[in-house]
């Protein structure tokens, strides 16, 4: 009897131990079934090529570190005037690296970007145009539209979070690309943008230089006035398709206008001067997030010329940071007096870009 009772007790104890073992195994099995963290893809630059109007263009896609499979806001970066390459440089003498710095700044907030060698620069060269004699603003816009489409097609890009960031003349191009593409960008950052007709900007830039020469005693007030009038006359003649007379102007101004209106640049200048940026801005989609910057030390695009562009953007009910005045900052986004080839962005300029991409920074932080 004792043996049977002992055997029964052993059987009960064994059953209890089995039940306890079952309850302790279940959490272990549940823990091993938990999903593993998504791996982080390291930051990288990728060289790409795309075709615009029968010409191959080359550029760099900067992809910030991100979780595998996560789609990123994507910004097309557009340079200023002249033979400015994908980094925002005109080598070898002029290398501020403006667009490369934009790419780095945006990348810090998880925004990927594409910058490219526009016609006449870098690996792209002139393409089918061979030189600048017959190329107009529309050709550059078409190239930028092709770049926008190429960026939108990248596997990491979120097609619903496309952005355009344009510096100087690139600000005008940002508006033109926005008007041309069917899949509208979610945001436009116009950094020290061309905000008026090209030759009106040339007029006030030269006037400012003449005033500065008077201030330091290099010219008399009368000499400055004569040259200002001569510049206005030359511009009016060019716009009216009359011969341009630069006689009587300072040699430096006469040489500049001669090149500007000469055979290598006339087609482009005439096409650019035909566009008034505020008119184009009125066509952007309602609720587009917009940033406009002006530096108080910018003599190329002074803050006093910005109001018509801002009014046009307001008429379309844009959102976002709007105007950001950058105290003491010049056209290259440097503190006044900084050498042109300094490869940095003023903190105020970086903050403006950070504020612009804030919604997408929150979106891509996971």
Which residue reads 């290259």 in tokens? 332
The verdict on residue 8 lying in a domain is: no
Same domain, 51 and 128: yes
47-51-56-60 Cα dihedral, nearest 10 degrees:
-20
The verdict on residue 229 lying in a domain is: yes
Same domain, 358 and 290: yes
Q: What is the pLDDT at residue 361?
A: 87
Same domain, 130 and 143: yes
The predicted model gives 187-200 an average pLDDT of 98
**What is the DSSP secondary-structure string of 246-295?**
-TTS-HHHHHHHHHHTSTTTHHHHHHHHT--HHHHHTTSPTT-EEEEEEE
Say if residue 275's pLDDT is above 90: yes
The verdict on residue 1 lying in a domain is: no
The CATH number of the domain where 164 resides is what?
A: 3.40.50.1820
Integer Cα distance of 358 and 364 in angstroms = 10
Q: 78 with 114: CB under 8 angstroms?
A: no
Tell me the β-bridge partners of 326. 295
The verdict on residue 356 lying in a domain is: yes
Q: What is the pLDDT at residue 21?
A: 42
C-alpha closest to that of 332 among 100, 60, 130: 100
The predicted model gives 197-225 an average pLDDT of 97
Q: What is the pLDDT at residue 32?
A: 53
Same domain, 166 and 66: yes
Same domain, 351 and 251: no
- Residue ending a domain, choose from 219, 235, 270: 270
The verdict on residue 148 lying in a domain is: yes
Q: What is the pLDDT at residue 23?
A: 41
- Residue ending a domain, choose from 235, 270, 305: 270
Domain count, the chain: 2
The verdict on residue 2 lying in a domain is: no
14-18, 178-182, 201-205, 305-309: least confident range = 14-18
Q: What is the pLDDT at residue 39?
A: 81
Same domain, 289 and 180: yes
- Residue ending a domain, choose from 238, 270, 302: 270
The predicted model gives 245-270 an average pLDDT of 97
Segment (H or E) for 206:
helix 198-215
| pLDDT tens-digit map of 76-108 | 999 999 999 999 999 999 999 999 999 999 999
Say if residue 10's pLDDT is above 50: no
The verdict on residue 171 lying in a domain is: yes
Integer Cα distance of 343 and 324 in angstroms = 22
Same domain, 155 and 203: no
Q: 147 with 171: CB under 8 angstroms?
A: no
5-14, 177-186, 259-268, 273-282: least confident range = 5-14
Same domain, 186 and 135: yes
Integer Cα distance of 111 and 206 in angstroms = 38
For the entire predicted model, the pTM comes to 0.88
Say if residue 43's pLDDT is above 50: yes
Same domain, 159 and 86: yes
The verdict on residue 40 lying in a domain is: no
- Confidence category of residue 33, pLDDT binned at 50, 70, 90: low
Same domain, 131 and 266: no
Could you list the residue range(s) of the whole structural domain that residue 116 is in? Answer: 47-193+275-363
| pLDDT tens-digit map of 233-242 | 999 999 999 9
Same domain, 338 and 286: yes
Q: What is the pLDDT at residue 20?
A: 36
Residue bearing the bigger pLDDT, 365 or 175: 175
Same domain, 220 and 130: no
């Amino acid at each position: 009897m004792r043996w049977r009772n002992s055997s029964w007790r052993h059987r009960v104890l064994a059953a209890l131990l089995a039940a306890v073992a079952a309850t302790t195994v279940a959490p272990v099995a549940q823990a091993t079934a938990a999903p593993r963290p998504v791996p982080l893809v390291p930051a990288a630059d990728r060289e790409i090529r795309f075709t615009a109007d029968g010409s191959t263009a080359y550029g760099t896609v900067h992809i910030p570190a991100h979780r595998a499979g996560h789609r990123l806001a994507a910004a097309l970066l557009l340079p200023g005037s002249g033979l400015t390459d994908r980094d925002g440089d005109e080598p070898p003498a002029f290398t501020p690296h403006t667009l490369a710095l934009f790419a780095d700044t945006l990348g810090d907030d998880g925004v990927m970007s594409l910058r490219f060698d526009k016609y006449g620069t870098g690996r792209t060269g002139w393409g089918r145009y061979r030189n600048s004699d017959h190329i107009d603003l529309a050709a550059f816009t078409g190239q930028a539209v092709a770049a926008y489409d190429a960026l939108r097609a990248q596997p990491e890009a979120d097609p619903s979070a496309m952005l355009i960031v344009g510096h100087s003349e690139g600000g005008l191009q940002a508006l033109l690309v926005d008007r041309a593409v069917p899949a509208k960008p979610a945001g436009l950052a116009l950094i020290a943008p061309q905000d008026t007709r090209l030759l009106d900007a040339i007029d006030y830039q030269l006037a400012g230089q003449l005033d500065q020469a008077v201030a330091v005693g290099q010219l008399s007030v009368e000499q400055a006035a004569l040259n200002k009038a001569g510049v206005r006359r030359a511009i009016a003649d060019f716009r009216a398709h009359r011969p341009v007379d630069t006689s009587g102007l300072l040699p430096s101004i006469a040489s500049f206008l001669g090149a500007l209106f000469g055979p290598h640049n006339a087609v482009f200048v005439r096409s650019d001067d035909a566009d008034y940026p505020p008119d184009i801005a009125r066509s952007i989609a309602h609720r587009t997030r917009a940033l406009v910057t002006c530096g108080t030390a910018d003599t190329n695009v002074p803050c006093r010329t910005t109001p018509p562009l801002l009014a046009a953007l307001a008429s379309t009910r844009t959102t976002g940071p709007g105007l950001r005045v950058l105290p003491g900052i010049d056209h290259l986004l440097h503190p006044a007096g900084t050498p042109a080839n300094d490869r940095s962005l003023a903190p105020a300029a970086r903050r403006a870009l950070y504020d612009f991409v804030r919604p997408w920074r929150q979106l891509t932080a996971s």
